[in-house]
Structure 1
Amino acid sequence: MDKKTISRDGTSIAYESTGQGPAVILVSGAMSTGGTVAPLAVPLSDRFRVVVYDRRGRGESGDAAPYAVEREVEDLAALIEAVGGEAALYGVSSGGALALEAAASGLPVRQVAVYEVPFAVYEGGAKERAEYTERLTAALADGRRGDAVVLFLRLTGLAEEMIQGARQSPMWPGMETIAPSLAYDNAVMGDGLVPRARLASIGVPVLSVAGSESPPWMREAAQAVAETVPGGTYRSLPGQTHMVEPDVLAPVLVEFFGG
């Protein structure tokens, strides 16, 4: 990241931008940095000024206690100001929840696109989120970062043998490094349910996208977002899962952001 902006609470937020045109800010999800969404910036930069940033508490950005979702909204406000005072937002997974909250908070956002925000639409979803929150809070309070990562991977439905394989992989130390930020994404997700009243207050166009090969509940959640936002639209990408391919997603975003 070659640039820095200062958020309202004094936290330094690292970012970089490529291309020229209307600004589009990419918001990463849990257990990720700006580098995770950077491949998407390449096909978008032909039409837009694409901004990739490290959310607070990860990568090259700073952090400050106590955490609140409002601080991350202020981080986006600082980024928008730094790139000209207006931007569109794209958020993936829990980063999509943050992008939607930023729009609902009244930031100068033109449009919002989100990919598979994992809101629960199934019975027991709120209970599952509450149990995860309790266990995650305890693990982080005890300094058990590896256990916190395992809790998150289990929440995503990853098989136990794959989790154990991840623990032995070279990427595991990096995952433990940003494990405290799992609490941030958990806070962004609220009680885990679709925040219908909050979404209904969004006054800009919203595109909610899901992959046709993702679990049914995830596709239903994406549809619920589109149906709840007054200016919402739903798109399904054939053959895609939660790990969406940038070259498949990019044309859909170019069409939406360019409209």
Structure 2
Amino acid sequence: MANVKSAFKTSAIVSKDGTKISYKSMGKGPGLIIVHGALSDSGDFSELAGELSDSFMIHVMDRRGHGRSGPQGPEYSMEKEIEDLQMIKQATGASLLFGHSYGGLISLQFARREPSITRLAVYEPGVCIEKTNWEWLDDYERAMDRNDSRAAFASFVRGSGHTPLTRLPMWYAKFILSIMVRGERWDKIQKLLPENLKEHREVRRFEALYSQYREIDAGTLLMAGGKSPNIIKQMIQTLDQTIAESQAVIFPQLDHFGPDNENAPAEIAIQIKRNFLS
């Protein structure tokens, strides 16, 4: 997959509110749109795109506020994400959809409203089955207001519950993260912290509304990592019981970041092909 990035063709659409939305395409076969999560962009899924490109025409979008796309805008909401995805669908004719994390939440919301989506796959979508404690989101916002990006990021990591840092004191989590996340990786995350804050306000807005996904007609592949917290696997099980035509797959050796370039995109791609091409 060394030459994956050079194989992409970059395009863009103009969304309903005039925002430019960029996407990159490669491959052959039925159209499949990849929707990335928070604190990431299309570049983080180039390896997954490459693994899928022998079976599908892949379109990896940069969601608004990310990569080469325009800003989120002052009226940012899930509805804006839906409008953007609808425009890319119209431009590409794709009827297959994959979303990771927050991109998985967008994909679920899109599929319940758009009956022309025939197959859907999500990896650990940002779905909260029950009402939860969102105090960390206020801490995040206060840290951003005082320009303390490290504290904002630590509040997010502890609050999202995907790592053992959740159980550590705030000051210690901030210290550990400053050692673990540095250089170009930190530069990218720091730049996206304002967008991430708005996106997780939307996650909170949709908490405990999972019954909406009974409206999804598409065959749905629900995926999660075995190393992720039990609450994530329980969420996948609940969605599997909610969506009429669904299949749940747990990858024992993976965590929340399974689909991105640095983890196991090939393993994820095998399951997507198996499900979408059957």
Q: TM-score with structure 1 length normalisation?
A: 0.89
Provide the rounded CA distance (Å) in 1 between the counterparts of 2:121 and 2:135.
Answer: 29
Superposed CA offset, 1:144-173 (max 9, x none): 444322221222335325312145434222
Shift of 1:42: 0.7
Provide the rounded CA distance (Å) in 1 between the counterparts of 2:149 and 2:31.
Answer: 35
Indicate the residue corresponding to 1:165 in structure 2.
179
Shift of 1:143: 4.6
Shift of 1:9: 0.8
Provide the rounded CA distance (Å) in 2 between the counterparts of 1:163 and 1:145.
Answer: 11
Structure 1 counterpart SS, 2:33: strand
Superposed CA offset, 1:12-52 (max 9, x none): 01111010111111111111111112210011000000111
Provide the rounded CA distance (Å) in 1 between the counterparts of 2:272 and 2:234.
Answer: 20
1:246 and 2:265 correspond: yes
Structure 2 counterpart SS, 1:50: strand
Superposed CA offset, 1:65-121 (max 9, x none): 21111000111001101102x421111112111110111222631211111124345
Indicate the residue corresponding to 2:140 in structure 1.
136
Indicate the residue corresponding to 1:228 in structure 2.
242
CA contact (8 A) 1:120 1:217 kept: no
Superposition map of 1:189-208 within 5 A = 189-191=203-205, 193-208=207-222
CA contact (8 A) 2:63 2:81 kept: yes
1:177 and 2:169 correspond: no
Q: Percent identity of the aligned residues?
A: 27
1:8 and 2:16 correspond: yes
* Residue type at the aligned position of 1:247: A
Provide the rounded CA distance (Å) in 1 between the counterparts of 2:164 and 2:81.
Answer: 28
Indicate the residue corresponding to 1:101 in structure 2.
109
Indicate the residue corresponding to 2:121 in structure 1.
113
Indicate the residue corresponding to 2:230 in structure 1.
216
Instruction: Go from structure 1 to structure 2 and tell me whether the alpha carbon gap of 1:253 and 1:35 turns closer, same or farther (over 3 Å shift).
Output: same
Indicate the residue corresponding to 2:88 in structure 1.
79
Superposed CA offset, 1:166-210 (max 9, x none): 454342222111111112331342357452221111121111011
Structure 2 gap segments, 5+ residues each: 1-8, 166-172, 259-263
Provide the rounded CA distance (Å) in 1 between the counterparts of 2:36 and 2:164.
Answer: 19
* Residue type at the aligned position of 2:190: E
- Structure 1 range deviating more: 153-162 or 96-105: 153-162
Provide the rounded CA distance (Å) in 2 between the counterparts of 1:220 and 1:184.
Answer: 26
Aligned residue pairs, count? 254
Structure 1 counterpart SS, 2:28: coil
Superposition map of 1:64-75 within 5 A = 64-75=73-84
Provide the rounded CA distance (Å) in 2 between the counterparts of 1:104 and 1:188.
Answer: 17
Structure 1 gap segments, 5+ residues each: none
Indicate the residue corresponding to 1:47 in structure 2.
55
CA contact (8 A) 2:137 2:155 kept: no
Provide the rounded CA distance (Å) in 1 between the counterparts of 2:14 and 2:256.
Answer: 32
* Residue type at the aligned position of 1:99: S
Of the three residues 136, 150, 154, the one matched with 1:150 is 154
Indicate the residue corresponding to 1:126 in structure 2.
131
* Residue type at the aligned position of 1:209: M
Instruction: Go from structure 1 to structure 2 and tell me whether the alpha carbon gap of 1:168 and 1:47 turns closer, same or farther (over 3 Å shift).
Output: closer
Structure 1 counterpart SS, 2:227: coil
The CA RMSD measured in Å over matched residues stands at 2.1
Shift of 1:228: 0.9
Structure 2 counterpart SS, 1:236: strand
CA contact (8 A) 1:227 1:233 kept: no
Q: TM-score with structure 2 length normalisation?
A: 0.83
Structure 1 counterpart SS, 2:157: helix
